[in-house]
Amino acid sequence: MRYTFSYIIFVSLLSLAFLWKAPDFFAYPDYFPELQYNVERNPITTEKTALGRALFFDPILSKDSTISCASCHSPFNAFAHTDHDLSHGIRDQIGTRNAPAIFNMAWKRNFMRDGVINNLDLLALAPISDQKEMDSDIDLVVERLQESVIYPSLFNAAFGDSTITGPNVLRALSQFQLSLISANSKYDQVKRGEAKFTDQEKNGYALFQKNCSSCHQEPLFTNDDLANNGLPIDTTLNDFGRWDMTQLSEDSLLFVVPSLRNLSFTYPYMHDGRFKKIRQVLDHYTDGIHHSPTLSKELKKPILLSPNEKTDLIAFLLTLDDKSFVFDQKHQFPREILLQK
Amino acid sequence: MRKQLLYLCLLSFSTLFAQTEKELQLSFSPTFEKQSILILEEQSSVYGADSIQITALKFFVSAIAFYQKDQVVFEEENSYHLIDIEDMNSLNIPLVVPENLEFDAVHFNLGIDSLTSEAGVFDGALDPTNGMYWTWQSGYINFKLEGTSPICPVRKNAFQFHLGGYRAPYNLLQKIHLNCINPSDDIHINIAIDQFLDQIKLSDTYEIMSPNKEALTLAKQLPTIFSIVE
């Protein structure tokens, strides 16, 4: 009897651990690190993800219903934006930063170019309320969604409640963004033994590991930390990165290290989109490093790369392109939902 | 079998325990030079030499605990409360405590701790869409005071103090510890808004909206304006 009792406790604890099972679209390789997003607080479901996708593509989130999240984060650019170096928002207003790509968000803690946002859930409040981006506010968004024909039933399917709340809008938007997992580039296939690097790519990989991987850490190609990578300040913008928030001298010119996956789709590069080509980025690392007190120690010694080595390094970086991610139908405009309005 | 008996005992013990609880109110009264502040239709009366009107006063109270001889004797679970002067109900926090609780001090945090600030989205008091969460950077506004005074040299003579944020070195959370000399059942706490505004020269400083040095200096004054009404 005593044993049965402890057995019951043991089994119920065990089943608790397996209670949350991720749906297939949230699968990721076993060589990816531990999740940073707490999925237990917002368990991933098909319904919430579908709702989040509709919200992400719907201009109803902006004041004059012209701008959606996807206006600046396009699926065909791995959810970055390539037409402009600086972001382009409501009433054609130009922002001060280049819209970053959105993928592998479940492994991040530092959001935005300077890490001012600490959790994906809360991020959407920023573009929704920014006067130059969507110029709306979350209360207005909730009100409009509640009045729409399609959303109350989508919220009901997702959250069991057709009364729409701000927190549930944020949870759904997170879910769609969490489902954007890029893990099927040639690099990943090589890692899983499904493909082989060419000699040139192999050589580029070695150069990458020697010079770049301390910040652009595998397998996500970012350590999600902040660093000064030696870009000279653009005096028309005077963007000092993290310093703008903390005003601490040690934070001057620190920006979050971006992932290097999908570079073919996410140009232009850097927080202000100053480089259009990967080669220009490499030229920056070999010849353009601006020395300032917060420059990362890895970049204090010059990085030496011959023109051929640069070509090899680029060949390796291109193995990080993940076409199956960029062209995944599940990530495109949800016609079946949004065109029925 | 013996184990089951034990559980049964525990269960009945806990119901026994539940019967010996009582309700106790922790209530807040914002005042200006001892006059209580009331906001009706977003406007208060006019107070003090600088003809101050208060248009908003909201703050977070969290981690409520009672102490007896420097030992914690009661901690409220899931203790997060948004106090809003325009919502009379929010000014009283009902607490369920053991009947025989003896305490000589009450403790709470003014604001939201860093762990909670990083945990993501919540419903209820911590709902980030209720105007007490910054949109352009992560962090709760711990204490919000807005109003007008003719000496503020800005549009509509408005002053706005949004004190909050959790990241070092500008973690603005304040711990408030108040001794209760005669702990009666309910605890009444006075908030002397005039004493807070006395620290500020409204003709120079009328807008603090982000976590910075100035905000931290002001936040550190906040514990001094809370006092127990015996």
B224, part of any domain: yes
Joined together, the tokens standing for residue B132 give 């007490």
Nearest to A167 among B127, B135, B213 (CB): B127
* Reduced DSSP (H G I as helix, E B as strand, rest coil) percent helix, strand, coil of chain A, to 5: 45, 5, 50
Which residues on chain B are in Cβ contact (under 8 Å) with A170?
121, 128-129
> Which of A112, A125, A143, A251 to probe the B interface (max B CBs under 10 A)?
A125
Residues of A in contact with B10 (CB under 8 A): none
| Helix, strand, or coil (residue A220) | coil
Instruction: Tell me the DSSP string of A222-251.
Output: --S-EE---PPP-TTT---BTHHHH--GGG
> Taking 70 as the threshold, does the pLDDT of residue B4 lie above it?
no
Residue numbers in A near B138 (CB within 8 A): 116-119, 122
What pLDDT is stored for residue B59 in this prediction? 98
Closest to A279 in 3D by CA, of A287, A87, A323, A271 = A287
Residue B186 contacts A where some CB pair is shorter than 8 Å: no
Would you give the DSSP letter of residue A275? Answer: B
Residues in chain B closer than 8 A to A121 (CB atoms):
120-121, 128
Residues 6+ apart with CB under 8 A from A216: A208, A222, A223, A257, A259, A260
Which of B:152-181 have CB within 8 Å of A?
Answer: 167, 169-170
Residue of A39, A117, A122 to mutate for B, most B C-beta atoms under 10 A = A122
Distance CA B85, CA A318 (A): 58
In single-letter form, the type of residue at position A59 comes to: P
Does some domain include residue B1?
no
Output the pLDDT for position A90: 72
CB of B123 less than 8 A from some CB of A: yes
pLDDT at res. A18: 47
Q: Would B128 be classed as within a structural domain?
A: yes
- Greatest Cα pair distance in chain A: 77
Query: B7 falls in which pLDDT band (50, 70, 90)?
Result: low
Tell me whether residues B135 and A120 touch, CB distance under 8 A.
Answer: no
Q: Nearest-CA neighbor of A188 among A26, A27, A31, A77?
A: A31
Identify whether B4 is part of a domain: no
Nearest Cα neighbor of A25 from A183, A153, A173 is A183
**Closest chain B residue by Cα to residue A172:** B121
% residues pLDDT > 90 (chain B): 73
Q: B112 forms bridges with which residues in the sheet? A: none
Q: Name the residue of chain B whose CA is nearest to A140's CA.
A: B129
Region B65-71: mean pLDDT is: 94
Of B4, B129, B138, the CB nearest to A117: B138
Residue contact A170–B121, C-beta within 8 A: yes
In a domain, B2, yes or no: no
Task: Tell me the chain B residues in contact with residue A42 when contact means C-beta distances shorter than 8 Å.
Answer: 120-121
Residue B154 main-chain phi, psi, to 5 deg:
-135, 175
Amino acid at A293: P
> How deeply is B87 buried, as exposed, middle or buried, from its count of CB atoms within 10 A (0-12, 13-18, 19+)?
exposed
Query: B15 pLDDT exceeds 80?
Result: no
Tell me the CB-side half-sphere exposure of residue B164, using CA atoms within 13 A. 27
For residue B133, give its domain range: 22-229
A131 CB near a chain B CB, below 8 Å?
A: no
Report the pLDDT value the prediction gives residue B136, as an integer from 0 to 100. Answer: 84
Which residues in chain B have Cβ-Cβ distances shorter than 8 Å to A134?
Answer: none
Q: Does a structural domain hold residue B15? A: no
Backbone φ/ψ region at A10: left (φ over 0), alpha (ψ -120 to 50), beta: alpha
Please report whether residue B13 resides in a domain: no
CB-based contact, B13 to chain A, within 8 Å = no
Q: How many domains does chain B have?
A: 1
pLDDT per residue rounded down to tens, chain A (341 residues): 455 555 555 445 444 444 456 788 899 999 999 999 999 999 999 999 999 999 999 999 998 899 999 999 999 999 999 877 888 777 777 788 999 999 999 999 999 999 999 999 999 999 998 888 887 899 999 999 999 999 999 999 999 999 999 999 999 999 999 999 999 999 999 999 999 999 999 999 999 999 999 999 999 999 999 999 999 999 999 999 999 888 899 999 999 999 999 999 999 999 999 999 999 999 999 999 999 999 999 999 999 999 999 999 999 999 999 999 999 999 999 988 888 76
Query: What is the count of residue pairs from A and B with beta carbons less than 8 Å apart?
Result: 78
**Nearest-angstrom CA–CA distance, A86 and A92:** 12
Contact assessment for residue A171 and residue A121, using Cβ atoms and an 8 Å cutoff = yes
Is residue A66 classed as helix, strand or coil in its secondary structure? coil
Task: Please check whether residue A93 touches B, CB under 8 A.
Answer: no
pLDDT recorded at residue A16: 47
